[in-house]
Amino acid sequence: ETPWRWPLKAEEYDRYGRQIILPGFGTDGQLRLRASRVLLVGAGGLGCPAAAYLAGAGIGRIGIVDGDVVEASNLHRQIAHSTSRVGVFKAESLIAHLRDLNPLVQYTAYTTHLTPQNAEEIVSQYDLVLDCTDHPTSRYLISDTCVLLEKPLVSASALRTDGQLIVLNAPVGSQGSMKGGPCYRCVFPVPPPAESLTSCGEGGVLGPAVGTMGVLQAGEAIKVLLKGKGWLESEVEDVRPSLMLFSSPLLGGVSMRTVRMRGRRKDCFACGEGSKLSLASLKDGSTDYVAFCGGKGGATVNVL
Amino acid sequence: ETPWRWPLKAEEYDRYGRQIILPGFGTDGQLRLRASRVLLVGAGGLGCPAAAYLAGAGIGRIGIVDGDVVEASNLHRQIAHSTSRVGVFKAESLIAHLRDLNPLVQYTAYTTHLTPQNAEEIVSQYDLVLDCTDHPTSRYLISDTCVLLEKPLVSASALRTDGQLIVLNAPVGSQGSMKGGPCYRCVFPVPPPAESLTSCGEGGVLGPAVGTMGVLQAGEAIKVLLKGKGWLESEVEDVRPSLMLFSSPLLGGVSMRTVRMRGRRKDCFACGEGSKLSLASLKDGSTDYVAFCGGKGGATVNVL
Amino acid sequence: MVTATENAQLRVVVEFSGGLEMLFSDQKRHVISIPTTDENGKPVTVAYLIEYLCKNVMKDSRKELFVLDSQIRPGILVLINDADWELEGEEKYAIQNGDNILFVSTLHGG
Amino acid sequence: MVTATENAQLRVVVEFSGGLEMLFSDQKRHVISIPTTDENGKPVTVAYLIEYLCKNVMKDSRKELFVLDSQIRPGILVLINDADWELEGEEKYAIQNGDNILFVSTLHGG
Ligand SMILES: [Zn+2]
Ligand SMILES: [Zn+2]
């Protein structure tokens, strides 16, 4: 019998052939995805579609963090869960769907919320993070952890009929350096006052609006992984990412607008020159995310 | 026991609450969706996400037309199918997923391709059609049927890293009248030569690109249904729909661009003044879609 | 006598998104005309525009959802011609005729 | 003697999408300069631009994927400043300085 001489297995060529033939993708791209580990924080309206397209594309390992259980009110937009799994942890419910979609991927469920105490342990096992959560508290925590562990972060959000998307820490740069992309705090240094926050429960959300954002998030994650470490020196300096603004009003068509954001902030609390943020300070609780975000959060966080 | 006095059942308020509270949606909107019947032609890369968000939103009845069976090479982008359902008809596989997502919807699978012979019988049972197919032959057939049966049509397509979306026959107008939105033939009167066509198999497709288009298609369908017959007289004259152009290149961010298309064409083969197209001529084969599209099509059509 | 300069106006397109439009009569796009110079004869800035919007365009009484301590409240991005205003000098940016100023409420749902 | 008019050029942004860019060096956006008038002294039209693109910009030899029988091939949309060219007079439209002309190949995959 002739030994198999190809970098991918036959079933992988079969399953991924339609993306491998894309110009600029190739077998190398597929190998890169297979060697990658991606963490999704939040298995809700963003996490469901994002995880499905990442699993479909053949990411090597996918981790899902979510401490909530599936509720019927989630199902209009959280399309990888199901009525028969109401009451099941979302991280496990989502993985049940993903495992049947693509059994070649390795999956890990974390049936807990991300906390300053468990963040390092979990995030350190992955190469890229998707923020699919729904509260500033978790958004700042995820970003800080990604700065400290030098992970690129694909951050999306949605409310009502609008959505936003930005790729942060890409390329990654070390804390205190001005090289690399900005972090969440560089772009949004001060959280909005708690009283201005509208949650999905209060404000409502259109399924296809949050769904579009989740699918786009998967697309941006795939691109960051395909690019790998292939950044030109010029692309590492003064990185000004695009913020994508999406809108799908009930009485009009869809629109998408791209705006240019600032680069790294020299005095950024997390990634700036004199930053005191460390894995130790994260864990010992000296950064109080709930207080920083105006005292709301924690127990009331519901992932869309 | 007090009789239930509300227009929706308790479980419906629970399940759809997060969209009902959207400004402009309301209980009326939910009732409208529940009273609607939507047909998706194609259960592939567009149909999977489109159907999931429509089922989630609580459309009353959903029909799925697709004569193909699930293959492993579909699963990187057709995220409502699964590895355990490889070999199953796509229409049935998709409905298996939808039924567990939302059992309150009524589903019908048509495990056949849409043909000039069966199109009237199938399409006449629905209020709105989504074109989720992947070949000009089916696109012209679907549009012609929608003109004859006066159904609005949400048409999307994708290839490689690009996508396109347009809402046609909205508002609907009768054949021969200049009122109402244009049909597919008004906008694209001549099909591309067969040799310029690239199929998904040949050209490849990025999962999140086609996925985005499918999700957006669901969003536009929901908006058309919410609007119902509530068109102003001024909105019925000289309707110039937007064509949405989406792009997600592997080496760049996403972009979306909206361009203004023409309205109804007086001499349109399907909806124009002297049109000879009729349900009878459709059925007796005098409109040869395969020949019109340059002799390709039929058996070689593969839905992305 | 009123000079031509005092009469001159700048045409500015002001847009709101991410829910902020709800504070401005549910209208996402406003085309407004403002004077070229302020009461001291200086070219008008984004700071002037913000005050102008609060006084003349905003019907909603909840000013604090837009401006806090006479600054744009945290959680609102200001984009000048599709670039973060921090790249343009923030509230000191001198408005040019035809500028597009976009105010976006950052979203956190997901 | 060459007059100023003969020297004058129009700056046009030409874009390709839907895969058509593959015929134009894989470049989606081209900023080109064309004369204001053709050899007969008439203002240049979109028809002129299309011929110009075939001769001067397109490197790919498969001209028939762009032009068939000296017309844009079926399946390609032409947008003039984001509007279907049928709304603007099709190939007879007289190009203005700064115009944006977008050629889009219609997609059928799904
Ligand atoms: Zn930072
Ligand atoms: Zn027509």
Handedness of CA B75, B77, B79, B80 (dihedral sign): negative
At B297 the pLDDT is: 45
What letters, b where the CB count within 10 A reaches 16 and e where it falls short, cover A220-254? bbbbbbbbeeebeeeebeebebbbbbbbbbbeebb
C20 close to C78: Cβ distance less than 8 angstroms: no
The pLDDT confidence band at residue B195, using thresholds 50, 70 and 90, is confident
Query: How far is the centre of ligand 1, averaged over its atoms, from the C-alpha of A184 (Å)?
Result: 6
Whether C4 shows a pLDDT value over 90: the answer reads no
Smallest CA–CA separation between C86 and chain A, in Å? 7
Distance of CA B191 to the CA centre of its chain: 19
> Averaged over A210-227, what is the pLDDT?
98
Q: Are B44 and D110 in contact (CB under 8 A)?
A: yes
Count the Cβ atoms, other than its own, within 10 Å of residue B100: 16
Separation of alpha carbons B57 and B81, rounded Å: 19
Ranked by mean pLDDT, the top range of A190-204, B47-61, C1-15 is B47-61
Q: Is residue C23 scored above 70 in pLDDT?
A: yes
Question: Do the strands C83-84 and D29-35 form a parallel or antiparallel pair, or are they unpaired?
Answer: unpaired
Angle at D41 between CA D37 and CA D43, to 5 degrees: 40
Predicted pLDDT of residue C27: 92
**Contacts (Cβ under 8 Å, ≥6 apart) of A13:** A6, A20
Check whether A197 has a pLDDT greater than 80.
no
**Residues of B whose CB is below 8 A from D79:** 259
pTM: 0.95
Judged by a CB distance cut-off of 8 A, whether residue D41 touches chain B is no
Average pLDDT, chain C: 91
Q: How confident is the model at residue A302 (pLDDT cuts 50, 70, 90)?
A: very low
**Looking at the predicted structure, is the pLDDT value of residue B194 above 60?**
yes
Kindly report, residue by residue over D11-66, the tens digit of the pLDDT. Answer: 999 999 998 998 999 999 999 999 999 999 999 999 999 999 999 999 888 898 99
Number of CB atoms found within 10 A of residue A266's CB: 12
Q: How far is D76 from chain B (nearest CA, A)?
A: 8
Query: Which residue, chain included where needed, has tokens 């998904």?
Result: B200
Report the alpha-carbon angle D39-D40-D44, nearest 5.
70
Residues A259-273 have a mean pLDDT of: 96
- Tokens coding A59: 């990411």
The yes-or-no verdict on residue A261 having pLDDT over 90 is: yes
Interface of A with C in 150-209 (CB under 8 A): 156-160, 162-164, 187-188, 190-193, 196-200, 203, 205
Q: Choose the mutation target among B46, B159, B202, B266 for the interface with D, i.e. most D CBs under 10 Å.
A: B159
Separation between Cα atoms, residue A120 and residue A39, nearest integer Å: 12
Is the CB of C110 less than 8 angstroms away from the CB of A210? yes
In the block, residue with structure tokens 């293959």: B71
Is the model's pLDDT at A119 over the cut of 60?
A: yes
- Subunits next to B (3 or more Cβ pairs <8 Å) are A, D
- What's the pLDDT band for D7 if we cut at 50, 70, 90? low
> What ipTM describes this predicted complex?
0.94
Interface residue C83 vs chain A (CB under 8 A): yes
Ligand nearest to the CA of B168: 2
Domains and CATH numbers, chain D: 4-97 (3.10.20.30)
pLDDT for the residue numbered A301: 35
Q: Which residues of B touch A202 (CB under 8 A)?
A: 21
C68 touches chain A (CB under 8 A): yes
Query: By mean pLDDT, which of A222-231, B188-197, D37-46 is the weakest?
Result: B188-197
- To the nearest whole Å, the CA of D18 is away from the closest chain B CA by 6
**Chain B residues closer than 8 Å to D13 by CB:** none
Question: Which pLDDT does position D57 carry in this prediction?
Answer: 94
Q: Which residue of C has its CA nearest to A257?
A: C82
> Where does the pLDDT of residue A299 fall: very low under 50, low under 70, confident under 90, or very high at 90 and above?
very low
Length, in residues, of chain C = 110
Q: How far is D68 from chain B (nearest CA, A)?
A: 10
- The pLDDT tens digits for A167-190 are 999 999 999 999 999 999 999 999
- Measured from the Cβ of residue C100, the count of other Cβ atoms closer than 10 Å reads 13
Q: Which of A119-128, A140-149, B188-197 has the lowest mean pLDDT?
A: B188-197
The rounded Å distance from CA A114 to ligand 2 centre is 54
Instruction: State the pLDDT at residue B300.
Output: 36
Residue in C75, C77, C110 closest to A46 by CB: C110
Chains D and B touch (3+ CB pairs under 8 A): yes
Query: Minimal Cα–Cα distance from B8 to chain A, Å?
Result: 14
Mean predicted confidence (pLDDT) in A226-231: 91
